[in-house]
Structure 1
Amino acid sequence: MFQDPRGTNSSKFQVSEFILLGFPGIHSWQHWLSLPLALLYFLALLTNICVIIVIHQEASLHQPMYYFLAILAVVDMGLATTIMPKILAIFWFNAKSISLPECFAQMYVIQCFVTMESGIFVCMAIDRYVAICQPLRYPSIVTESFVVKATVFMTLRNCVATISVPVLASQRNYCSKNQIEHCLCSNLAVTSLSCDDRRINSINQLALAWVVMGTDLGLTLFSYALILRSVLKLNSAEAASKALGTCTSHLILIFFFYTVIVVLSITHLAGMKIPLIPVLLNVLHNVIPPAMNPVVYALKNKELKQGLHKMLSLNFKGN
C-alpha cells in the first residue's frame, strides 16, 4: 500500500494507491444504492444515445439548437461514464483501490465535463436569445460555423482552466492516510488526505467554481432575463407561450445543475459535519442531469418528441 520513493533511509512515504470507501457512515448497506445508481446510468446512456440518433436522422432537427443538444448528450454520457463504472465496481466487486495517476485523471475529466456542461448551457441560452429576441438575424448569427466555434472555444477553455486541479492535487504529499470517504476522486476529498498545506487546492477549487461557472451562470441568467422581457412584450399569447415553453426545459435543468454546485460550495465553506450529504450530492450531480436532460427535453420539445416517436414507431414496425 505504501512505497518509499526516496529509499529505505527516508522517513517520508508516498502512498501508491487510494482506497475509495464509498458513502461515509453507511458502508454496511451502501451496496443497495447500486441498483438505483445503475438504473440512472443506463437511463442516461439509453436516452442520450436516442437523442443523438434522432437528431442525426431527422433532417428537420439539423439546426443549431439541436446540435447543441446533441453535444450536451455526448458530454452527459462522458460525465456519467467517468464515474459510474468505478462506483458500481466498488459496490459489486469491492474494487475500491485506484492508483494515483488514475485518480488524478478521473479528477481532471470530471472537472472538464462539468465545466463543459456549464458552457453548453451558455451556448444554448445565447441561441434562444437570438432566436426569440432577434429572429430576423438568427440565420446569419447562429450558423453551423457558430456552433463549431463555440464548441471548440468551450472545450479549450475548460481543458485549460481545469488542468490546475489535478496538477495541484498531484503536488501534495500523501504520506499516511490513503482511504477516501467518497465514491470518486473528488479534489477536496483527495487533498484532505495530504500531509502538507492544502489551502491552495481549496482556494483554486472555489475560484474555478465561482469564476468560470459563475460567469457561465451569470451569462445564462442574463440571456433568459432578456428573453423574458421580450416575451412579455409580445402581443400574441400563442407566440409567448411557445417561446416560454422552449425555454422552460432549459431553465429546469439549469436550476438543478447550478443549485447542487452552490450547495456543495456552501457545505465546504461551512465545514459541514455530516459528510454523507455533500458526497451523495456530488455523485447524484454527476448522474442525475445526464439521465434527466434528454427526458426533460423530449417532454418539453415538440419536434424532438415527434422525432423520438417516429424512430420508436419504425423500430417496432421493423420487428
Structure 2
Amino acid sequence: MSDSNSTDFINPSTFILLGIPGLEAAHVWISIPFCTMYAIALLGNFTILFIVKTEPSLHVPMYYFLCMLAITDLVLSTSILPKMLSIFWFYSREINFTACLTQMYFILSFSAMQSGILVAMAFDRYVAICDPLRHSTILTNPMVANIGLAVVLRGIILVLPYPFLARRLPYCRTNIIPHTYCEHIAVVKLACADIRISSYYSLSMAFLFIGMDVSFIAVSYTQILRAIFRLPTKDARLKTFGTCGSHLCVILAFYIPHLFSALAQRFGHNVALHFHVLMANMYLLVPPMLNPIMYGVRTQQIRVRLLQPFTHQRT
C-alpha cells in the first residue's frame, strides 16, 4: 500500500478507518454501549417484524410502514456496526475502496428511505384521524405497496450520484479516514481536487430529504392537531393524540440527532473531531434501538401480543 503522504495514487486500493480519533485507548470500552445498542436494535426490530407477521389484526397500513421502518433500521445499524467493532476489537482498519463507497451508499440510501417512511407514516396518521371513514379505501394494500416502492426508488436513485462523484475524485493526499465508517464528507475531504460538486449535491439532497420531508410531516401534524382539538371531550382528544405518540417520538429520535450531526459536521469547526464522529455514530445507532422500544411500549396491540406468552403462563 502506498504511503499516506505520497502522491503516486489516484484511487487507493484501500482506505484506513481510524475509529474515533483521540479516543483510541478507550475503543474497547466505547464498543460496549455501541454493541449493546446494536443487540437491542436487532432483537427489537426482529421482534416487531415477527409480531406483525404472525398477528393478522396488525395487517394494516400503520404496521406495514412500521415493518418497513424496522427493515431500514436493521440495514442502517448493520452497515456500520460490524466494521466498527472490527476496528475497536481487532484493529482491522483497512477497508477496500469499492467496499467503502458501497457502505457510504447503503448508509445514505437507507437514511433517505427511513425519512420517506416517516412521511408515509405521517400520511397514514393524517388520513386515520382527519378522514377516518375513507382510511381503508385510500390506504389500500396496493396503495401501501406503491408508497413503499416510491420511497425505495427515491432513496436508490437520488443517492446514486454520491458514490459515482466520490469515485471520480483523485485521492492523492492520504487514504486515512478519521472516522469509524465511510461517511460521505469525511471521504470526499481526502480528495486533492475541487469537491464543490459533491458538496453542493450533498447539501441539496439534505435540504430535499430533510427539508421537504419535515415540511410534509409538519403540515400533516398541523392538520391532525386541528382535528384533535375539534373533538368534543378531553378523553377523546387524549386517546386520539395517543395514537400519534409513538410516531412523534420516532420522528424526533431520527431528525434531531441527524440534523445536529449534519450542522456540527459543516459548521462546528471548533468542535472536537471525536465529538463529530461520536454524533455521526449515534444518529445511526440510537433510532434503530429506540424505535421498536417506543412502538412496543406505546402501542397497545404490540404490547399485548408481546406479553401474551407470559399472561398465558400465569393462567
Which of the five TM-score ranges fits, normalised by the shorter chain?
over 0.9
**Which of residues 90, 93, 100 in structure 2 aligns to 1:93?**
90
Q: Structure 2 vs 1, CA of residues 109 and 13 (structure 1 numbering), >3 Å: closer, same or farther?
A: closer
**1 CA distance for matches of 2:166 and 2:211?**
22
SS at match of 1:14: coil
Provide the C-alpha distance between the structure 1 equivalents of 2:76 and 2:263, rounded to a whole number of angstroms: 23
Q: 1:13 to 1:79 in 2, by over 3 A?
A: closer
Q: Does 1:277 align with 2:292?
A: no
- The letter of the residue matching 1:146 is M
Q: How many residues align?
A: 310
Q: What corresponds to 2:175 in structure 1?
A: 178
Q: Sort the Cα spacing of 1:11 and 1:80 in 2 relative to 1 into closer, same or farther, 3 A.
A: closer
Following superposition, the deviation at residue 269 of structure 1 comes to 3.0
Q: Aligned pair 1:155/2:126, yes or no?
A: no
Which residue identity is paired with 2:189? S
The CA distance in 2 between the partners of 1:205 and 1:271, in whole Å, is: 17
Residue 125 of structure 1, CA deviation:
0.3
Residue in 1 that maps onto 2:211: 214
Does 2:309 match 1:308?
Answer: no
**Which residue identity does 2:79 align to in structure 1?**
T
Matched, 1:187 2:192: no
| 2:2 match | 2
2:70 maps to 1:73: yes
Aligned match of 2:288: 290
Report the counterpart of residue 39 of structure 2 in structure 1: 42
TM-score (norm 1): 0.93
Please tell me whether the aligned partners of residues 79 and 113 of structure 1 are also in contact (alpha carbons under 8 angstroms). Answer: yes
TM-score, scaled to structure 2 = 0.94
- After TM superposition, the structure 1 = structure 2 runs for residues 112-131 of structure 1, keeping only pairs within 5 Å, are 112-131=109-128
Measured after TM superposition, the shift of residue 199 of structure 1 is 1.9
CA contact (8 A) 1:2 1:16 kept: no
In the aligned structure 2, how far is the partner of 1:13 from the partner of 1:118? 35
User: Structure 2 vs 1, CA of residues 96 and 217 (structure 1 numbering), >3 Å: closer, same or farther?
Assistant: same
The structural deviation recorded for 1:246 is 1.4
Stretches of 4+ moved more than 6 A in 1? Answer: none
8 Å CA contact retained: 1:116, 1:158? yes
Task: Output the CA distance in 2 between the equivalents of 1:182 and 1:117.
Answer: 23
SS of residue paired to 2:16? strand
1:226-305 mapped onto 2 (5 Å cutoff): 226-273=223-270, 274-305=272-303
1:135 is displaced (CA, Å) by: 0.5
**Distance (whole Å) between structure 1 residues aligned to residue 8 and residue 293 of structure 2:** 55
Partner of 1:83: 80
Residues 172-225 of structure 1, C-alpha deviations (whole Å, 9 max, x = no match): 111131111100000000111111111222211111111122111111111111
**What's the C-alpha RMSD, in Å, of the aligned pairs?**
1.7
Residue pair 1:176, 1:195 contacting (<8 A) in 2 also: yes
Q: Percent identity?
A: 37
